Homo-oligomer: A and B are copies of this chain.
Amino acid sequence: MTPLSRIALLLSYEGTDFCGWQMQDPSQTKAPSVQKTLQDAARGIFGETIRFHASGRTDAGVHALGQVAHADIPSRCLLNTNAHKILRSLNSKLPSTLRVLKVANVPEAFHAMKSAISKQYRYRILTGPADIPIASRFAWHLPYTLNIEQMKETLAALVGTFDFKSFQSAGTPLKSTTRTILSTDLGINADPFLNPFLSSDYMALDIRFRGTGFLKQMVRNLVGTLVKVGRGHMSPDEFSSLLEARDRTKAGVAAPSQGLTLEKVYYSDPLF
């Protein structure tokens, strides 16, 4: 049997034209998955099928700045080369919307999903009379002003361990829908590039969630409902009641995928 060595990859992708991380039945979707795109590139380099396991799936249209995946490659490939050459070889075969930012050798016990301690997502909302072309691929445009204080109050109350069943989209049944959110944050106009024209008319909201685990579309469902609070259609107290109700039918619709980016996956030791 071929001796194998485990490597970990730091990945960034623009999710716009991907059907998500996970490989899909080709009859269901015409868009490629990140996983298959990566595996096709790896096959061209290593001459055999290499399976990549991510820290978690990302949905169609969701972006990643720091997704992490691991794979086992033939040890001889690492003897003949090094991590930097693997990075360059893979990137030379990948489309420009997907890049390997770092490669590291990791112990066999490392698992991109099981070893992860927590993950951080950013959701960006742009408000104002028009969408902004240089930002629109990575944001949800809303043509009305939002009550920031009410949204901050709601976000602060989400830190802790709760049953998030109200904010889970239909999918594989899970034993438990209890998850822990370690921190939340709402940054206003934090991007210095957008600042020259941001004013009372236009605003960029960067909403961050760091947690030990997330249910299917949980961040997008939380943001969709948070916007109801921002618009004054729901109070922070009603949001809390909704969380306690454990009933998906009462939450707002999921915020669109293009505003969401997986920023970082945390492990006990820095990987790269």
Contact = CB atoms under 8 A, between A and B. Distances in A.
Interface of A: 10, 12-14, 63-66, 84, 87-88, 91, 96-102, 120, 122, 128-134, 136-138, 187, 190-194, 196-197, 201-202, 206, 261, 263-264, 272
A229 B128 CA distance: 41
A191 B194 CA distance: 10
Contacts of A261: 134, 193
Given A128-B101, A129-B87, A202-B101, A197 B136 contact: no
Dominant SS among interface residues on chain A: mixed
Q: How many copies does the complex hold?
A: 2
A129 B84 contact: yes
A133 B99 contact: yes
A10 B199 CA distance: 13
Contact of A133 (B84, B96, B129, B134): B96
B130 A65 contact: no
A4 to B, nearest CB: 24
A81 to B, nearest CB: 15
- Most B CB contacts (10 A, CB to CB) among A64, A120, A192 go to A192
B194 A192 contact: no
A187 B192 contact: yes
Nearest to A103: B129
Contacts of A264: 196-197
A97 B131 CA distance: 9
